[in-house]
Amino acid sequence: MTERIIQVDALARVEGEGALYVRLRGREVEKVEFRIFEPPRFFEAFLRGRDALETPDITSRICGICPIAYIMSACQSIEMALGITVSPEIDALRRLIYCGEWIQSHTLHAVLLHAPDFLGLDDAIQIAQSHPDLVRTGLRLKKIGNSVMECIGGRAVHPVNTRVGGFYRAPDRAAVRALIPELEWGAQAARDLALAFARFDFPKDEFDYTFVSLIHPEVYPILEGRIGSNRGLDIPAADFNDHFVEVHVARSTALHGRMRDGSAYLTGPLARYANNFSRLSPDCQETARAAGLGPVVRNPFKSILVRLIEVQYACEEAARLARAYEPPEPAFVAAPARAGVGHGCTEAPRGICYHSYRLDAEGRIEHAQIVPPTSQNQPQIEADLARVVADNLDLADKDLKWRCEQTIRNYDPCISCSTHFLKLQVDRV
């Protein structure tokens, strides 16, 4: 029986370092491994013993693309442990800066990293040569997201104005409202991109995913909501570990997230969209219909369209928040030290980002748990890869390799985010 091996030593157009190994025996898919070899970063370990108020600044360094996700999930968890509640005005400002992160992250991936797969190009450099207007639009959109983060957070990468309890300083009203014209342009630009990309030749691939995301009865969830699924799950963040588990696999320095029954699940744009479609704005719902999408999208290759619809939503929502903005007084709620346990969960661009901390009486961290979306998606990525390989065995190795890489990029994996922890076991005999 013929053995066939498809190997990608280094994935391109993803954040971080990873590889893929596929082994076929005849027409049977014998092994699929999404390998992460980027060195572990031990964030959970070196948070122990630190003052809880340091947590947002430290965890933001997990990722330069989605620092707000880590800041906000950390803040939620620490605030719960310390027994403080922020004002609606602070919550609104947090949602506004989070919209900025969605805009810049989704645009970067959709236009510059993922679109080449559908245009038959190798990278953004080739897009710039063949579709310069597309790149100019993408860069302008990304700049809008960066501008929102800079205005509120002080800088776009690892913002310095965020803190437990709120913000060090409330941004000026005029500066926030000055963002509105570009945000209004961005909403239309994102819609135009979604409709243009809807003409791509998407592979015919659908899967009955377990969609896991935050759910909310009134708003499209970013900061708020319970953890829910299309299978009936509906829990508070505090119950996360009762339903989900992280496991260590030898091929990866990142933990793999699964349901307690061992099954894989999907988090991220497709999950948010499926679980909260009715909470999108009417304009975004109309964009989805015009792009040929229903209220649930099960084709992972069409995640690029859902990301752009979320960019449209984030621009609309940011503009709404900017119009209504009034500087919160005070800009933060004091957080006196005490013992406690807290849980936080927000929607990073790539999916739910869960944090949990246990504090001692002096407000120092005794235990930390951080579960990034990419860690949660890894088992589903491997399941998708196995299905894609099985359905495309007649492709030449070069073309099958390309299809596998494209499948991984559907998830926009942030590998550096996921390598925050490594369980080490040493057996001595």
How do residues 160-197 score in pLDDT, each as one tens digit?
999 999 999 999 999 999 999 999 999 999 999 999 99
Q: How confident is the model at residue 304 (pLDDT cuts 50, 70, 90)?
A: very high
Contact by Cβ (8 Å): 382, 200: no
Q: How confident is the model at residue 2 (pLDDT cuts 50, 70, 90)?
A: low
pLDDT at 309 over 70: yes
Average pLDDT over the chain, rounded to whole? 89
Q: How confident is the model at residue 382 (pLDDT cuts 50, 70, 90)?
A: confident
Q: What is the structure's pLDDT at 117?
A: 87
Residue 363 lies in a domain: yes
**137 phi, psi to nearest 5 deg:** -65, -45
131: three-class secondary structure by DSSP: coil
List residues bridging with 6 in a β-sheet.
22
Residues 60 and 25 in one domain: no
Contact by Cβ (8 Å): 215, 234: yes
The reply to whether omega before 330 is within 30° of 0 (cis) is yes
Residues 188 and 258 in one domain: yes
Q: What is the value of pTM for the model shown?
A: 0.91
CA 375 to chain centre: 11
- List the structure tokens of 57: 């600044």
Residue 428 lies in a domain: no
42: left (phi over 0), alpha (psi -120 to 50) or beta: left
Longest alpha-carbon distance in the chain = 72
CA 82 to chain centre: 27
298: left (phi over 0), alpha (psi -120 to 50) or beta: alpha
- List the structure tokens of 265: 């699940």
Q: What is the structure's pLDDT at 393?
A: 83
* Residue pLDDT, tens place only, 227-267: 999 999 999 999 999 999 998 887 777 778 999 999 999 99
Residues 87 and 127 in one domain: yes
Residue 425 lies in a domain: no
Residues 21 and 53 in one domain: no
Residue 140 lies in a domain: yes
Residues 106 and 12 in one domain: no
* CA–CA dist 276, 40 (Å, integer): 34
Q: What is the structure's pLDDT at 423?
A: 30
Residues 63 and 7 in one domain: no
Residues 238 and 192 in one domain: yes
Residue 427 lies in a domain: no
Residue 314 lies in a domain: yes
Residues 79 and 97 in one domain: yes
Residues 199 and 178 in one domain: yes
Residue 424 lies in a domain: no
Helix axes 282-290, 303-324, angle to 10 degrees: 160
Residues 29 and 122 in one domain: no
pLDDT at 424 over 60: no
* Residue pLDDT, tens place only, 120-161: 888 778 888 999 999 999 999 999 999 999 999 999 888 999
**Those residues with Cβ within 8 angstroms of residue 244's Cβ, 6 or more apart along the chain or in another chain:** 257, 258, 259, 260, 371, 376
Residue 429 lies in a domain: no
Residues 233 and 177 in one domain: yes
**123 phi, psi to nearest 5 deg:** -165, 180
**Residue 304's domain spans which residues?**
43-418
Number of structural domains found in the chain: 2
Residues 22 and 128 in one domain: no
